[in-house]
Amino acid sequence: MSDTELIRLRPRRIRLVCWTSAALLLIVFSLVATSLSGPTGDGYGTFQRGDQIAMIGLGVFGALGFLLFTRPRVEADARGVRVRNVLGSYDLPWEVVRGVRFDRGAPWASLELHDDDLVPMVALQAADKELAVDGVRALRRLHQAHQTRLAERAAGR
């Protein structure tokens, strides 16, 4: 393993589900918008072009909400690990990481820090099966390489 190795990890299954759901939501809201015409019920009001545009706008905002869940990713190299979740990001040097965890039954992997905090890595989801396991193994190799370098420096003193 070289010091210049860069690992980039993104979830697969959730991205597919979110993109499909966003497209379907936009289609449904567009179809509903085109069906909005005529009186609103008892005839006191009528649907206007603005109502149709508003429905499409709601579909766009809903689709964008789904696409937020495609945001998670993890990047790691010899310096440390950068985690971007749905909301929030972390840039952590390996010095603060105690280990990489993927507990049985957990929905995603996490980083265990020396201060006993756990940082979730939503990009490594159990739903992605082997892809997530391979990602955790790669992160563990980088973390172990960093630990080895620290031990070599300490022994060299």
Closest CA to 66 of 34, 126, 26: 26
**What's the Rg (C-alpha) of the chain?**
23
Say which CATH class 73-156 falls into: mainly beta
What pTM does this model have? 0.77
Model confidence pLDDT, tens digit, residues 111-131: 999 999 999 999 999 999 999
**How many angstroms from the chain centroid is the CA of residue 53?**
31
User: 9 near 81, Cβ under 8 Å?
Assistant: no
Domain positions in the chain: 13-69, 73-156
Model confidence pLDDT, tens digit, residues 17-43: 999 999 999 999 999 998 887 766 676
**Token pair listed for 59:** 């579909």
How many other CB atoms are there within 10 angstroms of residue 99's CB atom? 14
Model confidence pLDDT, tens digit, residues 50-98: 888 999 999 999 999 999 999 999 999 999 999 999 999 999 999 999 9
